[in-house]
């Protein structure tokens, strides 16, 4: 009977420690969820366009070629790439949010049981997943393995920005093509619309010129003109 009482007393601090450990793990999970969003300086409900824009801005800001010898900028650059490797893909971002929400909302983390002192130490951390866009992930790993002096900024800029510039030019070309097609289909309407615009501009100029001349005309001249109009 004495042994049973001692055993029950000894379990209390262990259970208390398990609860503290579970709470701490849940807090770390919430912190981990916010970490990628904080690195890219976006809200958790930000759209993919905003995330991509922030990635381009921050990766250029902290790029090692633009910050030679700056270890802090190099670390920031790696963090930005790792965050975009997860948040840059909509499907991986959903999986990332879902997993962290499940961990943070559960009363205890997976693998931690309160049935016995031995079971309370069965926590097995999940192996990190290779998620996110392959280009961002590969770039982040590459920067971990190499020094900043080996980076080619022009090559990096071309890889990330030339595709955007190409799409912009394609959009402009398509819009110009549509305008040209409309002009070919309705050449007369296009020509007449131009004539109408030119005529409206000319009439407007003549009206403004006449009004300006009347405004600048002296009162004596106005009186003479009035008499002449009455005479004729």
Tokens 């912009």, located at residue: 168
Residue 135 tokens, joined: 């280009």
Buried b vs exposed e over 199-208: b needs ≥16 C-beta within 10 Å?
A: eeeeeeeeee
Sequence-ordered list of residues with C-beta below 8 angstroms from that of 25, at least 6 positions apart, any chain: 103, 109, 112, 123
pLDDT at 157 over 70: no
* pLDDT at residue 197 in the model: 85
**What is the per-residue pLDDT across 9-46, written as a single tens digit (0 to 9) for each?**
444 454 544 455 445 555 555 555 558 889 999 998 89
Asked if 80 contacts 55 with a C-beta cutoff of 8 angstroms, the reply is: yes
**What is the per-residue pLDDT across 117-145, written as a single tens digit (0 to 9) for each?**
433 334 444 444 444 455 555 555 555 55
pLDDT at 110 over 60: no
- Collapsing DSSP to helix, strand or coil, 205 comes out as helix
**What is the per-residue pLDDT across 158-213, written as a single tens digit (0 to 9) for each?**
666 677 778 888 888 898 888 877 766 665 556 777 788 888 899 989 988 887 77
Q: What's the pTM?
A: 0.40
pLDDT bin (cut points 50, 70, 90) of residue 50 is very high
Residue 121 tokens, joined: 């130490």
* pLDDT at residue 115 in the model: 40
């Amino acid at each position: 009977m004495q042994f049973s009482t001692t055993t029950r007393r000894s379990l209390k601090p262990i259970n208390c420690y398990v609860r503290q450990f579970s709470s701490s793990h849940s807090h770390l999970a919430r912190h981990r969820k916010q970490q990628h969003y904080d690195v890219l300086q976006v809200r958790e409900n930000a759209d993919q366009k905003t995330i991509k824009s922030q990635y381009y801005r921050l990766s250029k800001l902290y790029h090692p070629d633009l910050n030679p010898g700056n270890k802090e900028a190099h670390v920031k650059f790696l963090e930005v790439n790792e965050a975009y490797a997860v948040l840059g893909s909509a499907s991986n971002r959903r999986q990332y949010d879902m997993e962290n929400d499940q961990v943070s909302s559960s009363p205890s983390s997976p693998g931690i049981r309160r049935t016995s002192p031995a079971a309370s130490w069965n926590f097995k951390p999940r192996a990190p997943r290779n998620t996110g866009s392959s280009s961002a992930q590969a770039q982040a790993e590459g920067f971990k393995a190499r020094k900043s002096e080996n980076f080619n900024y022009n090559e990096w800029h071309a890889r990330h920005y030339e595709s955007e510039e190409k799409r912009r030019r394609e959009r402009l070309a398509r819009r110009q093509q549509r305008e040209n097609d409309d002009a070919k289909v309705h050449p007369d309407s296009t020509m007449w619309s131009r004539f109408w615009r030119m005529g409206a501009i000319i009439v407007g100029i003549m009206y403004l010129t006449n009004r300006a001349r009347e405004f600048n005309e002296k009162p004596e001249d106005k009186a003479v003109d009035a008499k002449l109009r009455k005479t004729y």
